[in-house]
Amino acid sequence: MNPIYLDYNATTPISAEVAESMLPFFKEFGNPSSNHVFGKRARVAVDEARAKVARLLGCKPEEIYFTSGGSEANNWALKGATSLQKQAHILTTQIEHPAILNVCRYLESHGVGTTYFPVQKNGVVDVNRMATTLDEENISFVSVMHANNEVGTIQPIREIATLAKRHNLIVHTDAAQSAGKIPVDVEELDVDLLSVAGHKLYAPKGIGALYCKEGLALENLIHGAGHERGRRAGTENVLLIVALGKACELAENRIHLQQTGVRTLRDFFQKTLLEKIPDAKINGLEAERLPNTLSISMRNVQSHDILHQIENKVACSAGSACHAGEVSISPVLQAMQVPPDFAAGTLRLSLGISTTKEDIENAAQVIIEAVENVQADHPGQ
């Protein structure tokens, strides 16, 4: 049996169509800022890609800025907006990706206030409680992820934005995990800033984008020449920009596949594991989740022991880490109040558009056998 890849939330392969779209630009080397024919060809390619990203997100092409990835987009959004605020105070959640949490910690060290809002046991924020926080605290900027990378829970961004706009706040969402898997429309979400990571939607690593609402003031993160309409210095990477554009075009056409085919496989996988593994629970089961994501916690086993058993057969991620014999539980699972005896045995299984039912059947068998072996080797762990 060939190894089965079920870690699509970590990264995705470059799709064949995306790879093909890149080929001409290994030879088309013009600088998009140049006025000669070589530069103009590159500029057309960049503009076409920008339009494709904009279509996926439901915005104007001129509201899209290319970045080196989701992390840069997040850094730019948070640092660029708060640097222009006299008394900046960010409201974010306890389950954000480190690309948000560590930016907040950096900004805290530079005088920016931060409130880390809790989530409920289902992994979703309590909107009513957030309304109270927004009324009582002097918040200036809200950043809440659209969908969680570990458990797949989807946040009510539109409701959060509605609350924030009552206080004239800037709203950002990290859509690295949601873009391409579920509909993402900036008008529907009513956000001012939104981050995208190319390698999460079958484009290469090293490319992303930031949606910035027209008219929003945002301090530059990278200074230099006047690229990206004077807002992001650095000669555009035409090769990767073209790839992201193609990936977004394909994602727009495959949303239905994610919503139906991938979800059906995920639910079958979930059912199979729950039927065969005693004392297992699905994290975020009661909430709306990404169609491809399954976070399962198993009682009295260690996820690193399971991963060791399956490492050559199934690729997935753990919800805990083991360092020098000490088990470190994911902050996301801690925030969701998953009991430690369950949290330590958590696996994140994330499917992709090429995942087959045979893959799921084989992966389920491998995981079930691994859990049985670990339980036999470590009874009452």
Active-site positions read: 322
Buried-exposed string 168-184: b where 16+ CB fall within 10 A, e elsewhere: ebbbbbbbbbbbbbbbb
The H or E element spanning position 210 is strand 208-212
CA distances from 20 to 16, 45, 203, 278 (A): 6, 14, 11, 46
How many angstroms separate the CA atoms of 95 and 281, rounded? 19
Residue carrying the six token digits 């809790």: 118
Question: Alpha-carbon distance 177 to 157, whole Å?
Answer: 14
Q: Which two tokens stand for residue 65?
A: 């800025």
HSE-up (13 A, CA, CB side) for residue 117: 27
Kindly tell me the burial class for residue 328, based on how many C-beta atoms sit within 10 Å of its own C-beta (0-12, 13-18, 19 or more).
exposed
* Closest listed residue to residue 336, CA positions, set 172, 93, 157, 143: 93
Q: How far apart are CA 79 and CA 90, in angstroms?
A: 11
Tell me whether residue 35 is exposed, middle or buried, using C-beta atoms within 10 angstroms of its C-beta: 0 to 12, 13 to 18, 19 or more. Answer: exposed
- The token duo for 137 is 């605290």
State which H helix or E strand residue 79 sits in.
helix 70-82
Indicate left, alpha or beta for 22 from its phi (over 0: left) and psi (-120 to 50: alpha): alpha
Which residue is associated with the tokens 């990378």? 149
Q: Which residues are within 8 A (CB) of 154 and not within 5 positions of it... i.e. 6 or more apart?
A: 124, 146, 147, 148, 178, 182, 287, 288, 289, 290
Residue 315 identity (one-letter amino acid): A
What's the CA gap between 350 and 317, in Å, rounded?
Answer: 9
